[in-house]
Every structure is written in C-alpha cells, then in structure tokens.
C-alpha cells in the first residue's frame, strides 16, 4: 500500500516521500483502518520539521486525524474499545503510522462514530479543530452568550471551527485574517466583524466594534504579534486562550499587565484531555455530532486532494496560504 513517509527533518515538500510499504498489522489496543479522508493540520508540518512536541521515530507517516473504515481490530484489544469491523469512524492515527496512507493504524480508544450528517472529508475535519475549539471556548474560557469573541486566523483550520462554535454559543464574533480572500471566507463563516491584519489596525477595530470595551475572549492560534495586539484590546475580566504559534513566535506574557487589566491567559493542549478526561472528549464528540446534524457547524473544506498531492498541501498549510481544512482522500 502507498504511504507518505518522513526519514529526516526538514521542509514538508522536501522530506515527505510517497512509498510502497506493507500493510501495517494492528497490535493490542490498535485498529487497522482504510483511510477515506485525512485532514492536513499545522502540526503535520511541525512534525516534518522536528518542531512539534510529539517527535515520532523515523520513518514516520504524518496525518493526525482521519475518517475511515474499520478493517480489523488488534488481538488483545479490550472489548469495550473494539469497534465493529466495516464501521465508518473518525480517529487519531497511532503515530508513527499516521493518516496520509491508504491504510493505517489508529488507537482503539480514539475511535468514534463518524457523524452521519457529514461526508468523509467533513467528518475527518470535525475532529481536532472542533474539539480544540470546544474545549478552548467552553471548558477553558467559559464563553457566555452575548460575549464578544475575537478569533485570530479566523479563516484557518482551528480558527474557522472557533468562529462557528462561537456563533453556535451565541457570541458576537470578530475574525482577524490575513488578506482580502480570507476576509471573504471569514464573513461567509459567520463572523460579525472581519479585520484584515494586513490592512487594518486590529486594536482600533476591536475597540470600535465593542464600544471601547474590548473582546471578552480571544482565541489565538497564531502567537507573536496577534498576542501582542490581543492584550491591548482585551476586556476587563477577559480570557485569552493560547492555542498555538502559527507565526513561529512564542509570546512572553507580561504578568504585571495581566494584573493591571484583570485578564487571564489560559493555556490549551487539547490532546491532553484524551488521557486526563477521555469521557469529556467523548461528550464533546457527541455535542459536535449534534451541532453538525443541526447544521450549526459544518467544517469548511477548501480542497479535497488525492494522496499524491499531500506533501505540497502540508507545505501550503505551514506557509499560511490555505483556508479552512485541506483534506487528503486516498
Ligand atoms: N492547542 C491545541 O491543542 C491545538 C490543537 C490543534 C492545533 N493547534 C495549533 O493551532 C494552530 C493552527 O493550526 P491549523 O492546522 O488550524 O492551521 P491554520 O490556522 O489553518 O494555518 C495557520 C494560519 O495562521 C495564520 N498565520 C499568521 N501568521 C502566520 C505565519 N507567519 N506563518 C503561517 N501562518 C500564519 C495564517 O492565517 P492568516 O493569514 O489569516 O492570519 C494561517 O493560515 C497551529 O499552531 C497548531 O499547532 C493547537
């Protein structure tokens, strides 16, 4: 079967190689899956570059979320974790065997029923971006109906999910994007106000849109300048959710400033909930499935590409030129 593999660190388009390898064998706690769709996430590029918190051993296959069919369950897998053969599921691949392949292994405990309301690409994309958005906005920031939510990289993967979840929660959403095309996308996603970081003054725009009060919650997958601007337009008792550093710059918060303005800086590592509170991850999946069935959320799939085009797609996500989720369909 065909799988993309990385043998050394570097730029995704240079180090990802499409190879013919034997089908993987599921061990205890693992499930063999035929991949229908695998979402490209920013961490795939970080893993290629050796800059992610997870460093799979070489050679590894990137691809951290998928929708697929269960082909076989590894011997010794606890009965409660064993999904039905043939079922259509979403899951997190068991790295170093990731999702950019014709078949792969997933952790049995991560297997969940694919939402019936969504197609394969949308189902794959309902996972990491939306779970991260849900935990960030609800569990960490306790977003309330009527509050103002500021989302950086609002047309991106996790950003577009946060916009939709913010609207579903009854918040007023301000989206920050880079460029005119992404501004159109952010409007289509439901942002009430759109700020183009290349043209507009983010701080002035947020203050104007909130009558000088500022944003109650900031969802920040970018870091760097986005964080620096956020602390200048955060409301009294506001909450800034630190989601990622797509800009490559990790901010160093001024705690004296947080004290003076009464705001909170909240870290979010969604993956940790899989071990610290798996029941909450399942409850979130059920909530997201219901929101999708209701039409309140629908992942924005900007590109559906064959397996052969995967390396270029991972590179483009890293370069910041994509919108929504790019999905590989082997
Ligand atoms: N904390 C967690 O548990 C968790 C879970 C999932 C993902 N993440 C993180 O969330 C971030 C976003 O992931 P994603 O897959 O959804 O990617 P993405 O948002 O689709 O892509 C990154 C976006 O960041 C913006 N950006 C701003 N400055 C940039 C720069 N210098 N270079 C590249 N992009 C830049 C770009 O949008 P604009 O041009 O519109 O600004 C770009 O489209 C990543 O840092 C990822 O690691 C964290």
Half-sphere exposure of 254 (CA within 13 A, CB side): 10
Residue 207 token pair: 């203050």
Query: Whole-angstrom Cα distance, residue 310 to residue 330?
Result: 10
Query: Whole-angstrom Cα distance, residue 91 to residue 275?
Result: 15
- What are the backbone angles phi and psi of residue 236, rounded to the nearest 5°? -55, 130
Closest CA to 226 of 158, 178, 160: 178
- 53, 141, 153, best to mutate for ligand 1 pocket (most atoms within 8 Å of CB): 153
DSSP 8-state class, residue 101: B
What radius of gyration, in Å, describes the C-alpha atoms of the chain? 20
Please tell me the distance between residue 225's alpha carbon and the centre of ligand 1 in angstroms: 13
Residue nearest to atom 19 of ligand 1 (CA): 156
- 12, 49, 139, 158, best to mutate for ligand 1 pocket (most atoms within 8 Å of CB): 158
Query: Whole-angstrom Cα distance, residue 37 to residue 119?
Result: 9
- Output the pTM of the full model: 0.97
Atom of ligand 1 nearest to the CA of 157: 16
Q: What is the 3-state secondary structure (H, E, C) of 234-270?
A: EEEEEEEEECCCCCCCCCCCCHHHHHHHCCEEEECCH
Which residues have any ligand 1 atom within 6 Å of their CB?
41-43, 128-129, 132, 153, 155-159, 177-178, 182, 197, 221-222, 243-248, 268-271, 317, 320, 322
Query: Whole-angstrom Cα distance, residue 282 to residue 114?
Result: 12
Residue nearest to atom 8 of ligand 1 (CA): 244
Check residue 79 and give its pLDDT: 86
Please tell me the distance between residue 75's alpha carbon and the centre of ligand 1 in angstroms: 38
Residue 84 token pair: 């039905």
Please tell me the distance between residue 8's alpha carbon and the centre of ligand 1 in angstroms: 23
Please tell me the distance between residue 221's alpha carbon and the centre of ligand 1 in angstroms: 5
Q: pLDDT tens track of the chain, all 330 residues?
A: 999 999 999 999 999 999 999 999 999 999 999 999 999 999 999 999 999 999 999 999 999 999 999 999 999 999 888 999 999 999 999 899 999 999 999 999 999 999 999 999 999 999 999 999 999 999 999 999 999 999 999 999 999 999 999 999 999 999 999 999 999 999 999 999 999 999 999 999 999 999 999 999 999 999 999 999 999 999 999 999 999 999 999 999 999 999 999 999 999 999 999 999 999 999 999 999 999 999 999 999 999 999 999 999 999 999 999 999 999 999
* Cβ contact 219:173 at 8 Å: no
Residue 317 token pair: 């996500």
> Could you please report the per-residue DSSP string of 109-164?
GG-EEPPTTS-HHHHHHTSHHHHHHHIIIIIIT---TT-EEEEETTTSHHHHHHHH
Q: Using DSSP, how many helices (H) and how many strands (E) does the chain show?
A: 12, 15
Please tell me the distance between residue 155's alpha carbon and the centre of ligand 1 in angstroms: 10
Atom of ligand 1 nearest to the CA of 269: 3
According to DSSP, the residues that pair with 193 across neighbouring strands are 174
- 137, 246, 250, 281, best to mutate for ligand 1 pocket (most atoms within 8 Å of CB): 246
Please tell me the distance between residue 182's alpha carbon and the centre of ligand 1 in angstroms: 13
Please tell me the distance between residue 79's alpha carbon and the centre of ligand 1 in angstroms: 38
Query: Whole-angstrom Cα distance, residue 173 to residue 318?
Result: 25
Residue nearest to atom 34 of ligand 1 (CA): 320
Closest CA to 86 of 67, 71, 74, 75: 71
Please tell me the distance between residue 25's alpha carbon and the centre of ligand 1 in angstroms: 33
Closest CA to 165 of 188, 189, 182: 189
Please tell me the distance between residue 83's alpha carbon and the centre of ligand 1 in angstroms: 32
């Amino acid at each position: 079967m065909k799988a993309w593999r990385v043998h050394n660190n570097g730029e995704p388009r240079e180090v990802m190689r499409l190879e013919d390898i034997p089908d993987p064998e599921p061990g205890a706690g693992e499930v063999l899956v035929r991949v229908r769709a695998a979402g490209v996430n920013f961490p795939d590029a970080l893993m290629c570059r050796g800059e992610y918190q997870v460093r799979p051993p070489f050679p590894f296959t990137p691809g951290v979320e998928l929708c697929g069919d269960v082909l076989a369950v590894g011997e010794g897998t606890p009965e409660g974790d064993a999904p039905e053969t043939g079922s259509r599921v979403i899951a997190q691949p068991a790295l170093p065997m990731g999702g950019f392949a014709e078949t792969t292994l997933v952790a049995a405990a991560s297997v969940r029923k694919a939402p019936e309301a969504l197609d394969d690409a949308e189902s794959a994309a309902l996972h990491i971006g939306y779970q991260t958005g849900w935990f960030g906005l609800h569990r960490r920031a306790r977003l309330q109906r009527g509050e103002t939510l500021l989302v950086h990289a609002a047309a991106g993967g996790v950003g577009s999910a946060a916009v939709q979840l913010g609207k579903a929660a009854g918040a007023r959403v301000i989206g920050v994007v880079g460029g005119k095309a992404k501004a159109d996308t952010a409007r289509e996603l439901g942002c009430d106000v759109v700020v183009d970081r290349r043209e507009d003054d983010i701080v002035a725009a947020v203050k104007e849109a909130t009558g000088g009060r500022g944003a109650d919650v900031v969802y920040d997958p970018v870091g760097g300048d986005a964080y620096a601007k956020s602390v200048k337009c955060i409301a009294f008792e506001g909450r800034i959710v630190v989601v990622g550093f797509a800009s490559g710059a990790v901010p160093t918060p001024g705690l004296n400033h947080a004290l003076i303005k009464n705001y909170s800086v909240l870290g979010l590592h969604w993956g940790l909930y899989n071990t610290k509170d798996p029941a909450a991850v399942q409850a979130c999946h059920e909530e997201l499935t219901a929101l999708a069935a209701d039409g309140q959320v629908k992942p924005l799939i900007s590109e559906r590409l064959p397996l052969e085009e995967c390396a270029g797609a991972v590179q483009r996500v890293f370069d910041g030129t994509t919108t929504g989720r790019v999905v590989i369909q082997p």
